[in-house]
Amino acid sequence: MSATTIKPWVVGNWKMNPIHADAQQLISEFKTLLQDSPVEAEKCHLGIAPVTLALTQIQAALSEAVRPVYTVAQDLSRIAGLGAYTGEVSAELLKDSQIDYVLVGHSERRELFADTPSILNEKVKNALQAGLTVIYCVGESLQQRESGQAEQVVLQQICDIAAVVDAEQWQQIVIAYEPIWAIGTGKTASPEDAQTMHAKIREGLSQITAYAVTLPILYGGSVKPENAVELAACPDINGALVGGASLNAASFHQIAQAFANTQ
């Protein structure tokens, strides 16, 4: 099963970067590039995930872009609503600030911040109930890949959330496959390996949801202008979640163009 007609998504995950002045500069450069060399909105979704502190500032700056660029939160609270939860930002608070997209389950959160499957389920559930679209990240470690467990690990991570996603809510899910060994290492999965995993993910999804054929599956892990065209040509790779290269406006713009040009 392949899904070449899915409109691709290119999302920049800025992680804990950059300082305020550099963020403003980056957005300003990106807006100029979009104006001079358009990435048509009909051909590609675009998003940027800044630090929580900057979400509304970046959203305001992006509102003046020539085309929609979504502002994406990097995480949300496991607790819904409002209340005495120091340091937390709930799905409802994101929605109240017109933030409609959120990353959940990034490997850095799973590994460094103890986001366990049950915590991730609470986050996914809250986000979907508040009407957010969830970019749910999955991916195996190098050790899991080398011991032949990559597919099993990734499919389990997808099955984990099935308990909290209602039949219709699968339309609010985007999957991002990010092999941990490819994140920030300069090593990208080969387009063949990435395509193979994406096809397996889609096959796995088809056991769970009727929306498997239309569900975008993004690739993440050292995506850069040099490898974006080849990745974009794979039928089940419906976009990219870009880390390091999204901190450079020209690189991020080129990656967006690579995916838009497949349409």
Q: Which residues bind ligand 13P (CB under 6 A)?
A: 13, 106, 178, 183-184, 220-223, 241-245
Give me the least distance between CB of 76 and ligand 13P, in Å please. Answer: 16
Q: Is 14 annotated as a binding residue?
A: yes
Q: Is 184 annotated as a binding residue?
A: yes
C-alpha 83/C-alpha 15 separation (Å) is: 26
Report CA-CA distances (Å) from 124 to 34, 93, 127, 134, 137: 32, 15, 5, 7, 11
C-alpha 18/C-alpha 4 separation (Å) is: 34
Helices (H) and strands (E) in the chain, counts: 10, 8
Give me the least distance between CB of 232 and ligand 13P, in Å please. Answer: 15
* Cβ-based nearer residue to ligand 13P, 157 or 209: 157
Q: Is 17 annotated as a binding residue?
A: no
Q: How is residue 138 written in tokens?
A: 């999955």
Given the residues 45, 106, 198, 253, select the one marked as catalytic. 106
Q: Which residue is nearest to ligand 13P (CB)?
A: 243
* Cβ-based nearer residue to ligand 13P, 99 or 245: 245
- The helix/strand/coil state of 243 is coil
Q: Is 13 annotated as a binding residue?
A: yes
Q: Is 190 annotated as a binding residue?
A: no
Tell me, yes or no, if 106 is annotated catalytic.
yes
Give me the least distance between CB of 243 and ligand 13P, in Å please. Answer: 2
The number of angstroms, rounded, from the C-alpha of 50 to the middle of its chain's C-alpha atoms is: 12
Given the residues 92, 108, 122, 178, select the one marked as catalytic. 178
* Cβ-based nearer residue to ligand 13P, 204 or 221: 221
Give me the least distance between CB of 206 and ligand 13P, in Å please. Answer: 25
* Cβ-based nearer residue to ligand 13P, 74 or 90: 74
Tell me, yes or no, if 178 is annotated catalytic.
yes
Report CA-CA distances (Å) from 231 to 125, 145, 236: 31, 20, 9
C-alpha 62/C-alpha 204 separation (Å) is: 36
Largest CA distance in the chain: 48
Please identify every residue annotated as catalytic: 106, 178
- Binding-site members for substrate are 13-15, 184, 222, 243-244
